[in-house]
Amino acid sequence: MLLIAEYVVPVSSEPIEHGAVFIKDGAIADIGDAEMMRLRYPNEEVKDFGMAALTPGFIDLHARMEDAVFRGLVHDLPFVQWRKEIAALRKRISYAEAFDSAFLGGLEALSSGVTTVADITSTGACVSAAQKLGLRGMFYREAGAIDKRLVNYAIKKADSDLEKWSQAIDPDRITLGVAPDPVYECHPELYRSVVKYASDNGDLPIAMDLAGSSEEYRFVKYGAPSGLDEDLGMQGFMEIPPWLPTSATPVNYVLNWGLFDAKNVMIVYGVRVNDEDIRHLKEYDVAVCACPSLNAQLGMGVAPVSEYLRSGMRVGLGTGAPASIDTMDIFSEMRMELLIQRAVTGEFLDSRTLMEMGTLRAAQALRIDDKVGSLEVGKRADIVAVDLSGSHSTPTSDPVSALLGSVGNGDVSMTMVDGKVLYERGRLHVAGEVAKNIAHVLEIRGRLRS
């Protein structure tokens, strides 16, 4: 198959005007000038997208697909209160309903140009949904225990689930890992156990929500009441008082308990950090998922993305929980991060850097940049076509600026994973009954509202 567009944006190299990408056996086999490619492959099926840009598939490092059903149910709350509301809602849905929600979240991802998602789950519903939809993904099984005596049980339960999930996935598309609970919900001994478990099982990837809010920072460092500690009391396992001051930042706290000794760790948020934290994160090659819209919506602050980048760290973007910002739009995330960093930090990040954070740098954060993240010969054909005909920036000599300037998820005209078109011009080409799924989600949402 030959894909043609006014612009091809490989990300790893300069954009090509009037370009084309040749797909064979699910991989990128050639890339170059459209006319030359037509002559080179005269018998191939041609898809010409006209005034559009062909880009690598976008990567959402914090999708929370299972929360798609909660969209519109929780509004205008700060982080601590929002987290409590979402936790209560999650307890009200069954596995089947979580699957329907994740399926809807996956559909929205595909229609917005996202081909790879990273997600944290305790149910595995998003794993099943991604497998059925044809998405690429990295899914982390949550593991947590407040009582030290339950740490081994938590690891065994996670191992059992991961073993079961591994039997039902395509390992070429989907990778499994483990996600220890946040510091305010977890006994620190679990971090050492997670690292050992990951090492014993082929260096499984690890992801963790860390250093996200001022409440978490004050709670860990000073033992200050924050609202987060109320959950500990309800568990009935913690001694009184439930938390003693550590004099450590959240990053230093998990570092001291050995979490960063693992070979493949990504933290989500990374907002409340200092210079020493950043040095440690860099030293241990920890990746960071920045969620600018979620952080702004919940009043969490601004991650020092410019400093992370200047330190040479692996940094990508996540849309965050759909229940916080009510959408999954990677274009909005790139644009939000670009503007926030320029306005708040004074660092003038350019459009190409943010485009990389949505694609190649995100792939590097997951350590899958040998497969995806850029349009290069030999990589998997995860490709998106973005319609630029409605952009006020075209025609242009800089399609990346046009993409970052005015494009939204509604401008995506085609999404392909492994050379298979899963979404094209408003139509989804996926397994499953889309209309039935959406009807189920509407029913669930109606029940949750009552």
pTM (predicted TM-score)? 0.95
Give 307's Cβ-side CA count (13 Å radius).
18
Closest-CA residue to 211 (of 300, 284, 287, 141): 300
What average pLDDT does the chain have? 93
Question: What pLDDT does residue 450 have?
Answer: 79
- With cut-offs at 50, 70 and 90, classify the pLDDT of residue 226: low
* pLDDT at residue 393, as a whole number: 62
What does the alpha-carbon distance between residue 268 and residue 315 come to, in Å, rounded to a whole number? Answer: 10
What per-residue confidence (pLDDT) applies to 297?
Answer: 93
Alpha helices in 240-318, H assignment, sequence order = 250-256, 275-283, 292-297, 305-310
Task: Give mean pLDDT, residues 341-363.
Answer: 95
Q: What is the pLDDT of residue 245?
A: 79
How do residues 257-280 score in pLDDT, each as one tens digit? 999 999 999 999 999 999 999 999
Residue 392: predicted pLDDT = 62
| SS3 label, residue 220 | helix
Q: Which one, of 406, 409, 428, lies nearest residue 329 by Cα?
A: 409
Tokens 């370009």 locate to: 19
CA torsion 334-337-342-345 (nearest 10°) is -160
The average pLDDT across 238-249 equals 66
Residue type for 311, please?
S
| Cβ density class 302-329: b for 16+ within 10 Å, e for less | bbbbbbbbeeebbbbbbbbbbbbbbbbb
pLDDT per residue over 59-84, tens digit each? 999 999 999 999 888 888 999 999 99
pLDDT exceeds 80 at position 215: yes
Asked if residue 234 has pLDDT above 60, the reply is no
pLDDT recorded at residue 227:
64
- CA 375/CA 56 separation, integer angstroms: 6
- Token pair 């494009």 is found at 407
Q: Is the pLDDT of residue 201 over 60?
A: yes
State both tokens at 220: 């860990």
Asked if residue 104 lies in contact with residue 441, where contact means CB atoms within 8 angstroms, the answer is yes
Q: What is the pLDDT of residue 322?
A: 78
User: Is the per-residue pLDDT at 240 higher than 80?
Assistant: no
Question: DSSP letters of 368-413?
Answer: -TTTSSS--TTSB--EEEEE-TT-TT-S-S-HHHHHHHH--GGGEE
Q: Using 50, 70 and 90 to split pLDDT, how confident is the model at 229?
A: low
Residues 108-124 have a mean pLDDT of 97
CA distance 198 to 218: 30
Going by C-alpha positions, the residue among 173, 100, 179 that lies closest to residue 433 is 100
Mean pLDDT of 168-191: 96
The number of residues in the chain equals 450
CA distance readout (Å), 123 to 71, 139, 177, 274, 317: 19, 11, 14, 34, 24
Given a cut of 50, whether residue 239 has pLDDT beyond it is no
Instruction: Decide: 311 and 278 in contact? Cβ < 8 Å.
Output: yes
**Checking phi first, is residue 76 left (phi over 0); if not, alpha (psi -120 to 50) or beta?**
left
Per-residue model confidence (pLDDT) at position 246:
87
Q: How far is Cα 21 from Cα 5, in angstroms, rounded to an integer? A: 9
For the 58-366 domain, the top CATH level (class) is alpha beta
pLDDT at 395 (0 to 100): 64
> Kindly report the CA angle at 185 between 180 and 191, in degrees rounded to 5?
35
pLDDT of residue 252: 97
DSSP 117: E
**What superfamily would CATH give domain 2-56+379-428?**
Urease, subunit C, domain 1 (2.30.40.10)
Whether residue 141 contacts residue 162, with contact meaning beta carbons closer than 8 Å, is answered with yes
Sign of the dihedral defined by the CA atoms of residues 304, 309, 311, 313, in that order: positive
Whether the pLDDT of residue 139 is over 90: the answer is: yes
In sequence order, which ranges of 49-188 are alpha helices (DSSP H)?
79-90, 95-111, 125-133, 151-166
Question: 77: part of which helix (H) or strand (E)?
Answer: none
pLDDT at 325: 80
Q: In which residue ranges of the chain is CATH 3.20.20.140 found?
A: 58-366
pLDDT digit string (tens) for 298-346? Answer: 999 999 999 999 999 999 999 987 778 877 889 999 999 999 999 998 8
Region 209-237 average pLDDT: 74
Buried b (16+ CB within 10 A) or exposed e, 136-174: bbbbbbbbbbbeeebbeebbebbbebbeebeeebeeebb
- State the pLDDT at residue 237: 40
Q: For residues 82 and 324, is the Cβ–Cβ distance under 8 A?
A: yes
The type of residue at 105 is G
Handedness of CA 60, 65, 70, 72 (dihedral sign): positive
